[in-house]
Amino acid sequence: MAAAAGYLAIALLLLSVAPLSAAKPNILFMMADQLRADLIAAAGNNITKTPNVDRLAREGVMFRNAFSSTPTCTPARAAILTGKKPWNHGMLGYGAVAKQYPYEMPRAMAEDGYYTKSIGKDHFGWDKNLNEGISHGYMDTDLYDGLTEEFDDYDQWFNKTNPGVNPMATGLTWNDYRGRPYALPEYYHPTAWVGRAAVDFLDNYNRSEPFMLKVSFHRPHSPYDPPKRLMDIYNVSDMPAPYQGSNWDNRFAIKYNTTPSPGIWCGDIGLDVVKHSRQAYYGSVTFVDEWVGHILGALQQRGWLESTLILFTADHGDMIGDHYHFRKGFPYEGSAHIPMLIRWPDTMTTKNHGPVTVSRGIIREEPVELRDLFPTFLDAAASRPSKPLDGQSLLNLLSDNVTDGQWREYVDLEHDVCYNVTNHWNALTDGHMKYVFRAYFGDEQLFDLDNDPHEMTNLAGNATWEKPLELWRSRMVKQFQEEGRGPDWVSPDGKLMRRIKGQLYSPNYPRK
């Protein structure tokens, strides 16, 4: 009996450290909210401290030209859920994620044999009758959406452990441009709560099926409130000044006679204020990175690093004062350009191109987008989508055999009216050029991102750039025509139409 018990103990120990499935890898999907692409040190930022995300770039692939097509929280998450572009999933701006879509990523992964778990921000809504978040196919959720009108899992935990304490004691609002150190013990910070929950999941997971774990940090989304120790590792004097264009953004340089509202979306608030905000934003990024490190450590401790596909990204960026803009919802790099990194198991085989052949640590230049996550996860599970998707598997780009024509040339971006009736636009980019049609003004912008990565100079109207401008304009006309957007968007003779009023949802948005 003693010997049998000993063999059983050894078997259980081996099970706890062995890959959970020889056929399908585990999937660790981590994302940060409002994290711009250039805040990752591996992307070339010599100020920020992100050693753990940098590890993913070093041991995997970083996609230099990754974008969020509709760069605010809810439509970006609809793209992740559905694998669709904005017109096809139906959210053209900051609306409500539909209660259910015809084909959803977590539900499909669960049907494919995965145990699906979501920790942190989903932004799917809260079912007050069931006292739980709307799941969209996640089998279990521990939610912190950062919304004052919702009472999610974090809020319930905080109020139980800190009765009578204000979780917003730092004194900042949810869309604040200001930054301050977190006023409460670090243990209670939402970033720490999300990170601990992820580590706990990995430490205790003992099911037989592979897991798909989504870890969605609310920060560095405002409030910019990192622990003081992390805010202090950055010097205000080292913070980069915001980019200000040479010929197009002065209309947004509003001068405030008094202290502006914390939730302003544009304006000239002075260099010192912007730099202090950036100091707190940078500290928030590093706090997320620390917890990414703890999560990777827990994965490695279980022996699962080489049986897990790891993907890290963001739902959108943050302008943090560039071009006199704040937060997100804009076509510009700070808002729409996001980090995207993948680390794959040594045994990873792609469905279309065979074994991974690219070297770890390389950078891919192809334009990728959040719609590509759903097909990527299906591909990792050796599955094919049961319904058409607009996205493509990023695993296809882990092969040296990818040739011209096998990946998209460019990606479409857009956002309905956000913050102000004038902020209403469509855009296209391949990561080298960017074309923007500002619907309210009915005018165009063209940026040469290779030579002007910070979008300082609008080339529309420059005779030298007339041909490229015509090419990008014709691509947008073609997109609208193929999608059947109608005469409010493009005239019968192929002219882009000025649109004063917005359109939040397309006809493809699920209404039931």
The conformation of residue 114, written as its DSSP 8-state character, comes to P
Active-site option among 123, 136, 221, 276: 123
Known active-site residue 418: no
Known active-site residue 123: yes
Q: Provide the 3-class DSSP secondary structure of residue 335.
A: helix
Contact, 222 vs 177, CB < 8 A?
yes
Q: 240: closest CA among 177, 322, 329, 328?
A: 322
Q: How far is CA 441 from the centre of its chain?
A: 28
Which residues have C-beta within 8 Å of that of residue 358, sequence separation ≥ 6? 61, 364, 397, 398, 399, 400
Q: 295: closest CA among 221, 223, 208, 191?
A: 191
Q: What share of the chain is helix, strand, coil (3-state, %, to 5)?
A: 35, 20, 50
Neighbours of 394 (CB within 10 A): 26
Distance CA 72, CA 78 (A): 10
Active-site option among 73, 136, 276, 316: 73
User: β-strand 443-448 against 433-438: which pairing, if any?
Assistant: antiparallel
The conformation of residue 264, written as its DSSP 8-state character, comes to -
For 460-499, letters b (16+ CB in 10 Å) and e give: beeeebeebbeebbebbbebbeebebeeebbeeeeebeeb
Which residues have C-beta within 8 Å of that of residue 69, sequence separation ≥ 6? 75, 76, 79, 85, 86, 336, 369, 370, 371, 411, 412, 413, 414
Between the CA of residue 196 and those of 8, 74, 192, 265, what are the distances in Å?
30, 25, 6, 33
CA atoms within 13 A on the CB side of 379: 26
Q: Is 381 exposed, middle or buried (0-12, 13-18, 19+ CB in 10 A)?
A: buried
Catalytic site residues?
73, 123
